[in-house]
Structure 1
Amino acid sequence: MACLAALVVALAACASAGPKADALNQSQYAWSGAVRWGDFEGAWGLLDPEYREQHPITELEMERYNQIQVSYYRDNGGVRDLDAGTAARDVEMGVINRHTQAERTARYKETWRWDEAAKRWWLTSGMPDFWKGQ
């Protein structure tokens, strides 16, 4: 009986996350995977369409992204207000220059917006600036 009660509580916790939370987790997973494995064109496609229109990326900027390799991508915690349709999380990344093989740490704050019409999350914070402070 105790096992059954524990199972019911666990299922209720999973169910309470809801489709919006699941969609956020999937979007964040897709984003971190694209950045971690160097698919910066794929990462670009996960940015808010309004952001992409207002901040088009140049061929030169994309080439700069191709000169680095992300060695790790760590979630350092986030803030979610799913009812308001916003979320943010701080991440830390290891960044390796492909030419010099020098590695350094970069920090980035993701901000997300829920698009009710599309039923999906968009990243509104833009591409990570791996060159800030250099």
Structure 2
Amino acid sequence: MASYRYWVGILSCFLLFSLVFLGQKIGAVNGAEPEHHGETGLLLFVIPGFIASYLSSKKRILCPLLGALYAVPLCLLIRHFWLTPGYSLWQELAYAVSAVFWCVFGAMLYLFIRMVLHALQHLYQRERQ
């Protein structure tokens, strides 16, 4: 069962990361306004990491990391061959590495929220006794 959930975490992160990456590059999901000059859309990569960490049984940081790292070459190949590349390969690679960071940050955010809720639950149980 644990091995099954390990692959579910990696696969879900792979698929969600690819969808967010390609959605932003196509322009379907645009987090930044044109005059903003910032990439606030990178914050959307927190979602695949959060979900993949939830779906993983153990190794809740490793599964989102592996899923994102497996998705990066595929996304860059699709971007290069089937979509019109707007930036150089190095800029796209820097964007992808930043997206991997935010994905892993989403996994850590899930673990933090889980830890806080667990501590609150223990505190509530102590007050009831």
Q: Which has the higher contact order (CA 8 A, sep 6+)?
A: 2
Structure 1 or 2: larger strand share? Answer: 1
**TM-score of the alignment, normalized to the shorter chain, above 0.5:** no
TM-score band, normalised by shorter chain: 0.3 to 0.5
- After TM superposition, the score normalised by the length of structure 1 is 0.33
The answer to which structure has the higher helix fraction is 2
Name the TM-score, length of structure 2 as normaliser.
0.34
